[in-house]
Structure 1
Amino acid sequence: MKIFKSHFWYNKSQRNGIFFLLVLIIIVQVFIVFGNFSSDEIIETNQTELIAFHKQIDSLSLIEIENRKPKIYPFNPNYITDYKGEQLGMSLEEIDRLLAFRKTNKFINSKNEFQKITKVSDSLLTKISTYFKFPDWVVKQNQATKKGEVSYNSVYKSFEKKKVSTTDINKATLLDLQTINGIGEKLSERILNYKSKLQGFSINEQLYEVWGIEKQVVDKVLSTFKIIEKPLIKKKNVNTVSFKNLLKNPYIDYNLCKMIFNYRDEVAEFQSIEELKKIDGFPIEKYHRITLYLEAK
């Protein structure tokens, strides 16, 4: 008993402290059990400022969604590819009907004819036909036909009678190029601007490099125009040309220019222009184009 008594023997101040602690614990437990911690306060969510803020967020979200949609620019529906047709929402069957029609060397000249050939729905036609861009002579023919002034055949024949001033692609004018079906004012300007950048077309394949031109259109151009007189290009010596002047070569970018200069520093000088092919990473497919403007002396 003495052992247990030693553990439970407290003086008066200690007993008072224990009693006070027990009372405090009881009060806390009662407060937790019976206290009301829920809030009856109702937050007003339909305030004018909050509604306006939400509307602003919604409008910004709609603008962002609209900006992320792929942009559609005016195009000639005769040159729709599989990829382009899929972007427009056409089915594979509709695209195949168009491609089969074009293989007969015929052209679509109105949105109604486009629907007749492809059998697209009215809703899809309404959606994409606003971006159709036909050649000027087709637009004039359609307007004239509606007015009953002339028939399709008469307009088509008058277009066919247009003559070019030259068959040399390096001497062709804007108007000469616009006689080709599929080439309008903007595209003819791009062709002439690119010809100026190249100092003239030296090989037929350079026409395919014009931005935004379809392969079928280039084929038509080359069926009318040829490279009769090749441009006189003063070639630069790869051993003495400066970095800045070498960059003026239309087929050499900064990285390739740096590679050529690094190789030149290693070998002291090029013994022949064919040494370009020995440069690690040199684009062999561009060799014949690059050497139109370079030589080794």
Structure 2
Amino acid sequence: MKHFKSHFTFSKEQRNGIFLLLILIVIFQCVYFFVDFSSNNVQVNQEELSKYTKEIDSLRLVKLEESKPKIYPFNPNYITDFKGSSLGMTNEEIDRLLAFRKQNKWINSAKQFQDVTQVSDSLLNRISPYFKLPEWVTNPKPKTNPTYSYNTKPKTYAQKQDLNTATAQQLQKVNGVGKVFSERIIKYRNKSAGGFIADVQLLDVYGLTPEVVEKITNQFTVKTPKAIQKINVNTATIDDLVTIPHIDYDLAHNIIEQRQLREGFKSITELNKVKDFPVNKIKIIELYLHFEKEK
């Protein structure tokens, strides 16, 4: 214990020194709290401060602009209630647009949009740059004179051109017959010497619809038909029948079998009863047949 107490025992000079130190500490603390060391003559660079302020303001404006809802290009004909509201349109303006569209009418310009909806000039100026109208409205193509003037009015037999001598360029004057179809017609015609037997053979040209065939036959007809030897269906063999378009060996066998049951055919319509007979090709098959009873 004696050794422990010796650490807290000070001489008179030491106690005086500690007391003086405490007084100095209190004095400095009072000076720090109660004396103003700031200078009123602080020099500020006004030019730099102005630049800094402007930079802060521009960054603030950019931030505000980014926080605004973005508008993307849109077709004004398809504005919904939600879309119109987000653009700043009133309910009445939106209703006028929807009523206009219900009549199956279309907005084709910014002015027409304002006429229909009655929006203010300021709103129109703000949203009209984002209008995205169809290409044919904003950039209509100039009308050009067609290369060919299509003929649609049927001609008389005397006025019609011969289908067996018509050129591809002449055929292309028919509406619906372009370069591809005209070349297919010529190719089909040239498969056998003499060309077409009758107009109905156009139905065998790949891709030609009955409507286009009708337009062709309004302007063209077979005037010099290919000469053929018709086959008597009541005496023909299977080998004879398979030479006719659209008749294969199975169908030829069915025809002869039906012929034996009927004791001969009297007309082309009776062939409709033959199994697997191509009814849609009956007019073409008829070109190659005649019906003469076997003696």
**TM bucket by the smaller chain?**
0.3 to 0.5
Higher-helix-fraction structure: 1
- TM-score, reference length from structure 1: 0.38
- TM-score, reference length from structure 2: 0.38
Mark the structure with the bigger radius of gyration.
2
